[in-house]
Amino acid sequence: MIAGGHLLLQDVPGVGKSTLAQALGQSIGASYSRIQFTSDLLPADILGVNIYEAATGEFRFRRGPIFANVVMADEINRASPKTQSALLEAMNDRRITIDGMTWELPDPFFVIATQNPIEYAGTYPLPESELDRFQLCMGIGYPDVEAERRILTERPVRQHSINLQPVASVQQVLDAQTAVDQVTVAPAMLDYVLAFARATRSEALFEVGVSPRGAIDLLKAVRAWALLQGRTFVVPDDVKTMAPYVVSHRILRRGSRKGASRADIDRIFEQVPAPA
């Protein structure tokens, strides 16, 4: 969020993706909306629609749930590609266009989406162009024994979500985003990020490497991670830490629709010398 991007949570059903997204949305004192993606969802259900008012003889735009600071797109890959594409302009340009009219989205604007693996029934794989709009993609995984014991014995998780109080304001998020932009990236570190991105494009194992947008998102994520570690400058370990979450879903392996694994990313880093 403070890096100014969007997050995709990808994992099997029932591990808490939606609960995590909802909790994060409620933890910010900002506008929040949740969109349940289904096969019959239409673009107008997300963006909004112009409604004719007989009393005035004019059309009035009714805003859709996309007009919020934090938007939760639940099970995004259950909607049709046409509906998925409705998010492209919103996520990339922070605005939408309806019937020739452009509407600006609020600032900050953060989409946190969840999706089930593409092998599950009733899902449509997100196209590469839309995956590229997500700055980070990660899973949650199954909880350890003690964590799952607490889940089973404590009161229902949904009760915790209902009672959550905001712990940060919109202005605090904007201030954090400004602080991220001020984190120093030395020329040698910038060359390191560029060398890594270009190495993914020449790797024989990959059909598609990291795009320039992906390199920009990696640099933003690295700056945000450095700030969260209490530093005002970036080090090589920051790049190695964030790269798997930023680039794995953007890379397409040859002969497969699957992205790069952590081992694939480590292999690329072995080819790119880190600055001293």
Does residue 123 contact residue 77 with C-beta atoms inside 8 Å?
A: yes
Domains and CATH numbers, the chain: 1-158 (3.40.50.300), 183-275 (1.10.8.80)
Confidence grade of residue 119 (pLDDT, cut at 50, 70, 90) = low
pLDDT at 197: 94
Q: Is 4 left (phi over 0), alpha (psi -120 to 50) or beta?
A: left
Confidence grade of residue 122 (pLDDT, cut at 50, 70, 90) = low
pLDDT at 99: 82
Q: Say how far apart CA 263 and CA 259 lie, in whole Å.
A: 11
Q: What would the DSSP string read from start to end of 116-185?
A: --TTSTT--PPPHHHHTT-SEEE------HHHHHHHHHSS-HHHHHHT----EEHHHHHHHHHHHHTSB-
For CA atoms 125, 127, 132, 134, the dihedral sign is negative
Does residue 206 contact residue 254 with C-beta atoms inside 8 Å?
A: yes
Confidence grade of residue 156 (pLDDT, cut at 50, 70, 90) = low
pLDDT at 223: 97
Q: Is the pLDDT of residue 160 over 60?
A: no
Q: Say how far apart CA 159 and CA 93 lie, in whole Å.
A: 36
Residue type present at position 164: L
Q: Is the pLDDT of residue 246 over 90?
A: yes
Residue carrying structure tokens 């040698």: 188
What does the pLDDT average to over 156-172? 75
For CA atoms 139, 142, 145, 150, the dihedral sign is positive
pLDDT at 8: 93
